[in-house]
Amino acid sequence: MKSEIVEVSPTRRELKIEVEPDAVRDVYANVTRKYSKGANVPGFRKGTAPLDIIKIRFKEEIKNEVLREVLPRKVAEAISEHGLRPLVEPELHVEDIENVVVNGSQPISLHVHVEVMPDLEVPNYKGLEVTRSVRPVTDDEVDALIQGRLKEQAALIPVEDRASELGDIVIADLSGVFEDDPDGEPITADDLEIELGGENVESAFTENLTGVRPDEEREFVVTYPKEFSSNALAGRSVRYRALVKSVGRTELPELNDQWAKSLDEEYSSLADLREKLRTDLEIFAGADADARTRNEAVGKLLDANQFEVPQSLIENQARNLLNNFAQDLHRRGVDPNRLQSDFVQMAFEQMKTQAERDIRGAMLLDKIADIENVAVTDAEVDEEIERMAMHYSTTTEEVRKALEGRDGVGPIRNSLMTRKSIEALVAAAKVTEVEWKEAEPESVDEKPKPEKRKAAAAKGSKKASKKELSEN
C-alpha cells in the first residue's frame, strides 16, 4: 500500500492511498466463492453456477462487499502509519468508483479526509493587560440588608376596627377563570397574601382589595401584561372572585442593640451588625471583581490567539448550547417542538459563534495548564465534593453516589482544572486596579425589573405560582 499525506488546513488532512492489487485479489476470490455457494441462478442448482456467471450476475454486490472489506482496513493502516488521531469518522472517496476494478488486476486509488486537532503552539498569554475594579459598598446597601432582616422578623397584626388601606396585608382565597376560556381549568389560590400598594403587586389587586373587611367578597378582572413572568398568564385577562379572610398590618421590630443581639449570630450591638454586614458585602464585591477580571482575561486570551478550530467540535458544542436553550424554554413553559424550523436553524448557526469561542478557549486553557504544570489532586476533588455536600445540605457519600450514576468525578476534576488554568492565566497577566464605574444602562427607556419579577421569570413554570397571580 502506498500512502501520502497532505495538510489541507490546520485541522484537516488528506490521505492519498493506493491499494495494491495483491491486497484485493484474495478478498475478491473469497467473496466470489461465498456468492457462488449461496446463489440461485436460473438453469443451475443452488451453488453449482460457474464462477464467471456469478461474477457477471452479482458484479455490483461483489464489488461493494470487497470495497467494504478492504478499504476500511487499509485506511486504518494509513492513519496509523502517519500518526493521525481522527476526531470523527474519516471521509472516504474512491476515485472513479463507477469504473473501479476489484478483481485484483488493478490497484484501487482513494483519498481520505481526516479531521484532527490543530498543533497548538505556545499561546500568547503572558502579560495580557486586564483590569480589576471593586464596586464600593454603600450605606444604602447595608441599610437594605438590615431592613431585610427586620422584615423577616416582622409580625402581622390583625386590623379589626377599619377597612383595609394601602400598606395592609390582605389574606384571601382566590378563584379565577380566563376571560377567553371560561370553561377551562380554573385558577385557585388559598391564603394568598397581598400587600396593598406593594412594589411588585399588580395594581388591579390593590385597587379592588382596598377598603375590604374580613368575610367580604370582591369580583374583578386582572389583565396581565404581555411580558408577565408567567407564560400561562402573560397577555391574558382573568376574572377573579376573592374571599377576604383577614386584614393585617406588618409591624417591624424596633431597630436597636437588643434586636441585633437577638439574631443569634453573635452580634454585640447594632453597630457590630452593620460592620459585619459591610464586611460580608465587601468580600462579595471582591469576589465579584475577581470573577470579572477572570472573564476579561479569558476574553483577551481569545482575542490574542486566533486559530482554526475543528468543525466537528464546533457543531457538537453548538448542539449542546441549543439543547440547553431548548431546556430553558421548556422550564419557562414553551414547547421547543413548536418552534419553527427556520428559527431553530438560525439559532443553531448563531450558537456556532459562541461554540467556536468555547472550544478555542478550552484548547488554550489546556495548553496553558501543560505549560504551567497545572494539576488537580485527589484531595482537591474531595474538598470540592465536601463543598457540594454543604451546599446541597447532604453528605459526601450521597454526592459520590449521585456522581456514580453520571460520569463519576471526571466533570469535577475537569472543572477544577479549568478553574486553576484560569487562575494561572490571571497570575501571568498584568492586572491594573482601576476605579469602579457604574455601567451605563442599555436604554434610557428601559426600567430595571424588580428582583421578585426576575426570580418569578426564572422559574418558568407553565402554571403560575400562587404569588405570581398578584405580583407583577
- Give me the residue spans of the domains in the chain: 2-115, 155-251+461-469, 284-443
d(Cα 264, Cα 452) in Å, to the nearest integer? Answer: 28
Q: Say yes or no: domain 284-443 is CATH 3.30.70.20.
A: no
CA-angle at 230, arms to 226 and 233, nearest 5°: 60
CATH entry, 2-115, from 3.40.605.10, 3.90.25.10, 3.40.50.300, 3.30.70.1050 = 3.30.70.1050
Q: Please name every residue paired with 173 in a beta bridge, in sequence order, or none if there are none.
A: 243
Helix or strand or coil: residue 188?
A: strand
pLDDT at 452: 34
Same fold, 155-251+461-469 and 284-443: no
Q: Which residues pair with residue 141 across a beta bridge?
A: none
Give 5-8's long-range contacts (Cβ < 8 A, gap of 24+).
5/82, 5/84, 8/113
Q: What is the pTM of this model?
A: 0.73
Q: What is the pLDDT of residues 184-209, one digit of tens each?
A: 888 899 999 999 998 888 899 999 99
Residues of the chain with pLDDT below 50 are 443-462
Q: What's the pLDDT at 464?
A: 59
What is the helix (H) or strand (E) element at residue 175, kind and residue range?
strand 169-178
Q: What is the CATH number of domain 155-251+461-469?
A: 3.10.50.40
Question: How far, rounded to the nearest angstrom, does the alpha carbon of residue 373 sit from its chain's CA centroid?
Answer: 29
**CA-to-CA separations, 198 to 219, 228, 387, 450, in angstroms, rounded:** 20, 17, 38, 11
